[in-house]
Amino acid sequence: MRILFFGTKPYDRYFFEQALALEKYRGVEIHFIEPILPAETAMLAAGFQGVCAFVNMDLGTETIRRLDEYGVKLILLRCAGFNHVDLEEADRRKIAVLRVPGYSPEAVAEHAMALALTANRHMHKAYVKGRENDFSLSGLLGVNFYRKTAGIVGTGKIGAAMARICRGFGMEVLGYDLHPNKELDFVRYVDFDTLLAESDLISLHCPMTKENYHMIQKETIDKMKDGVILVNTSRGELIRTQDLVQGIRDGKFFAVGLDVYEEEKGSVYEDLSDKILTHSTMARLLSFPNVMVTSHQGFFTREALEAISSVTLDNALAWMEGRKSGNELHG
């Protein structure tokens, strides 16, 4: 089976080639290319049975239509999220879509806490000050997490891992989820408004749906405590960025940590260090001293990349053999 691997980075190639060396994948042939997958590059998939795509790629209606025209019958997502995929169109065209649902929830949760700690204790500023021989403590004042309240929005695998981390810091943990996690007996589940009002740290761990689009906006920000710390490692569209910027300007937030943001397209995973940012809201976010931004790297650990490569190839193998892997997606 021939698969075209879009958006190849050196680490992708390394971990997938390591996995491909296993005997069980001998029937899988992967061609690695650098271009990402919007509709305009779908033509590159001609002659391939499957394509492999990531979370930053456009798999909307037009892309799916063109992939179908070029004979593609399998889309392998090397990620958990799928809000960038038109699943109904894929179903209609009988194109199978499989994902990697839980490659390393701990990796993302640990990164969420790293963002919270870095933004709170100004570790990024302290590093720069130290490099310039400035060992003063000005601008580095933080707050304790011990005996504070953490609000976890979404308590699936990643949210549950974050809840356990917060508990380890001695925090009271609140949870909001339409389907409470029964394994988290230390979490007090509350309604969304209560979580907003009582939490000192709010961490978002929910998928992007029509219902929670811009769940963090002016109205919900106004319900938060003054001096709250907000972290988002889920999807940028959960937060209305303009309202977040205004909240930061108004002094509502003690700190903000973002691994995802609304204006990711065209910038995430790319080196733009010699370019001027054209995204006005991103430029504004980066201008605030209490905001920490990373480039969708929450998943980026050795363990996660090993799991992503093996599960993606297992998904391909299952499809080739006509059996279910349990990772299929449908509209």
Q: Where are the domains of the chain?
A: 2-103+301-329, 105-293
Which range, of 86-95, 105-114, 143-152, 281-290, averages the lowest pLDDT?
Answer: 281-290
Give the mean model confidence (pLDDT) for residues 204-227.
96
Q: Which of 78, 205, 264, 279 is catalytic?
A: 264
* 264 annotated active-site: yes
Q: Which of 235, 237, 240, 262 is catalytic?
A: 235
pLDDT digits (tens, 9 = 90+) for 68-102: 999 999 999 999 889 899 999 999 999 999 999 98
Q: How confident is the model at residue 281 (pLDDT cuts 50, 70, 90)?
A: confident
pLDDT for res 307? 95
* 78 annotated active-site: no
Beta-carbon contacts of 272 under 8 Å, excluding residues fewer than 6 positions away, are: none
Q: In the chain, pLDDT over 90 holds for what percent of residues?
A: 87
pLDDT for res 263? 74
Q: How confident is the model at residue 220 (pLDDT cuts 50, 70, 90)?
A: very high
Complete DSSP assignment for 243-283: HHHHHHHTT-EEEEEES--TT-TTTTTS--TTS----HHHH
Residue 265, pLDDT > 70, answer: no
Class level of CATH domain 105-293 = alpha beta
CATH code for 2-103+301-329?
3.40.50.720
pLDDT for res 103? 83
Q: How confident is the model at residue 46 (pLDDT cuts 50, 70, 90)?
A: very high
Q: Mean pLDDT over all residues of the chain?
A: 95
Residue 266, pLDDT > 70, answer: no
Residue 41, pLDDT > 70, answer: yes
Q: Is 75 exposed, middle or buried (0-12, 13-18, 19+ CB in 10 A)?
A: buried
Question: Matching CATH topology for 2-103+301-329 and 105-293?
Answer: yes
Strands (E), the chain: 2-5, 29-32, 50-53, 74-77, 96-98, 149-153, 172-176, 188-189, 201-204, 228-232, 253-258, 291-293, 328-329
pLDDT for res 111? 98
Q: Which of 99, 122, 205, 296 is catalytic?
A: 296
pTM of the model: 0.90
Residue 141 and residue 130 in contact, taking contact as beta carbons nearer than 8 Å:
no
Q: How confident is the model at residue 273 (pLDDT cuts 50, 70, 90)?
A: confident
Give the mean model confidence (pLDDT) for residues 197-217.
95
Distance CA 204, CA 121 (A): 20
Selected residue with higher pLDDT from 261 and 176: 176
